[in-house]
Amino acid sequence: MDFKRFSGTFLVSAFSAITAVGSYHYFLAPKQTIQVVENTPARYAAYSAAGKDAVQPIDMRYAASAATPTVVHIKSTYKAQKLSKKDGDQAMKDLFGDEFYHYFQGPNPYRSQAQVATGSGVIVSEDGYIVTNNHVVENADEIEVALHNNKTYKAKLIGKDEDTDLALIKIEGMHFPAASFSNSDSLMIGEWVMAVGNPFNLSSTVTAGIVSAKGRNINILGKENGTGSSTAIESFIQTDAAVNPGNSGGALVNVNGELVGINTAIASPTGTFAGYSFAVPSNIVKKVIFDLQKFGITQRGFLGVQIRAVDDEIANNVGLEKPAGVYVETINPGSAGETAGLKQKDIVTKINGISVNSAPELQEQVARYRPGDKISVEYLRDGKLTTTSVILKNKYNTTSNIDSNRDVLGILGIEIQELTAKEKSQLGINSGVKVLDLNEGKLSEFTDIKKGFIITQIDDQNINSVDDFTNAIKGKNGKILLEGIYPNKPMSYLYAFKM
């Protein structure tokens, strides 16, 4: 066989076959979608055991694994209240509504049905201290805590702070997983955060979002709208992480799983999440729980000034190029601000070197300090910047920490005195303290109690001394019942009010 002739024939045949197959696929075969597979892997934030090596705040796995064991489920139980049959349903309405005065005569009390509410909390120490919202445990007679591992504990209330809607409770034990605090001042708008709650006692739930704003005042705690006349501290971190009511008291953490806030409120027309949630900054949380643990109450330092944000009108009047700082409307006589030389129409620009441009921002900075602490205040007066040192005072205008007993009596607006043995004998009673005077406070606001009233019991507990009285009320959260008599009147009276 001629090899050259065979090779040529083979090549021609092969070329013809390839051409025929190619023509079929191009002109006659049905068209198919071509799938291109890219071998370059998707890029996520670096994940490491330390968590702090993240390149970008996208991967929240470490944050979730670090934070979820520290978040607990809280069940608050409200026992039935003893009331008079005389007033029936109206008394019940009064007790659980806005009015808190009741008249009680004779036996035959009846009780309402116990109720239960739930929320979340965050373990902040290995020995069992837990921070939550005050409204989660408010009015509770019993508090039960369920941990991430489903173990349950009875908790006791250590203290509360209505001004920040925070409360501190404690469970007995050791070596609990505790949250690590981060500096909330360093949190930046646009930064990724995760909200962690335990609303259903199933396991912690996590949602992620970004910081939308800082220093938000949404007027849910104070009565005044940002004028500074309310003692409430509203300087919330605003995020778009989904938070629903059962998550109240849960953790807001950064990408490292560190606590930057306590989730407190949502902006919603329906009661469910609708786009924004609000958290108390961790720097305030840390200070409040330290005070509650050490003193039983929050030690607040006050400048003693009424303030509001600088608007265009104020800026034009004082010659500012744009609104900035906080305008001093009035100075309280004898206050820390007056002693330090602050005056009406001053514009406070910085507290301890940190710029403040709204009443909430100023209140947040001052709220971190106690009576007797010295802070630096920079202010603008007549176009000139000046810095002064201010020694903060308490609400009684002294530089001392407030004793919890005095604070109880001050909040109630009451002065009491122990009964002598002779007085008890004449009245035919074995216990009691006498109301000497009534001032502005919760008792005069919510009841018509009169001077001379003898308080014999608080929530069915006998009262024999001033210490008995203050100890029975100190740490109480919610509705309190005072029972007693008036001299020369044969009946018993019951007054109810809310702490």
Q: For residue range 307-326, what is the model confidence (pLDDT) as tens digits?
A: 988 888 888 888 888 888 99
pLDDT at 453: 93
**62-105, pLDDT tens digit by residue?**
999 999 999 999 999 987 654 444 444 444 344 444 332 233 33
Q: Please tell me the CATH code under which domain 404-498 is placed.
A: 2.30.42.10
Is 60 exceeded by the pLDDT of residue 388?
yes
Average pLDDT over residues 270-290: 85
Q: How many CA atoms lie within 13 A of 95 on its CB side?
A: 25
Coil, strand or helix: which one is 184?
helix
Percent of the chain past pLDDT 70, that is, above it, reads 77
> Quick one: pLDDT band at residue 6, thresholds 50, 70, 90?
very low
Instruction: Name the helix (H) or strand (E) containing 89.
Output: helix 88-96
Q: Please tell me the CATH code under which domain 58-79+114-298 is placed.
A: 2.40.10.120
Residue partners of 296: CB distance under 8 A and separation at least 6: 158, 159, 404, 474, 475
**12-56, pLDDT tens digit by residue?**
454 454 444 444 443 333 332 222 222 323 333 334 444 555 445
Name the fold adopted by 305-391.
Answer: Pdz3 Domain (2.30.42)
Any catalytic annotation for residue 291? no
Cα separation, 102 vs 136, in Å, equals 26
Cα separation, 320 vs 390, in Å, equals 25
Q: How many residues appear in the chain?
A: 499
β-partners of residue 208 are: 194
Is 50 exceeded by the pLDDT of residue 390?
yes
Q: Which of 73, 84, 161, 165 is catalytic?
A: 165
Q: Which of 248, 277, 282, 358 is catalytic?
A: 248
What token pair was written down for 314?
A: 């104020």
Q: Which of 73, 102, 135, 148 is catalytic?
A: 135
Cα separation, 439 vs 410, in Å, equals 8
β-partners of residue 181 are: 259
Is 90 exceeded by the pLDDT of residue 172?
yes
Average pLDDT over residues 216-229: 53
Q: Which residue intervals of the chain bear CATH 2.40.10.120?
A: 58-79+114-298
pLDDT at 321: 83
Any catalytic annotation for residue 135? yes
Cα separation, 347 vs 143, in Å, equals 46
**124-134, pLDDT tens digit by residue?**
999 999 999 99
Instruction: Tell me the residue type at 347.
Output: I
> Which one of 25-39, 183-197, 399-413 scores highest in mean pLDDT?
183-197
**321-358, pLDDT tens digit by residue?**
888 899 999 998 889 999 999 999 999 999 999 999 98
Instruction: Name the helix (H) or strand (E) containing 83.
Output: strand 82-83
Q: Sort 494 into a burial class: Cβ within 10 Å, 0-12 / 13-18 / 19+.
A: buried
Any catalytic annotation for residue 175? no
pLDDT at 270: 66
pTM recorded for the entire structure: 0.70
Average pLDDT over residues 467-488: 84
Cα separation, 194 vs 89, in Å, equals 45
- DSSP summary character for residue 147: -
Q: Which residue has the higher pLDDT, 191 or 201?
A: 191
| Average pLDDT taken over every residue of the chain | 79
pLDDT at 269: 64
Q: Which residue intervals of the chain bear CATH 2.30.42.10?
A: 305-391, 404-498
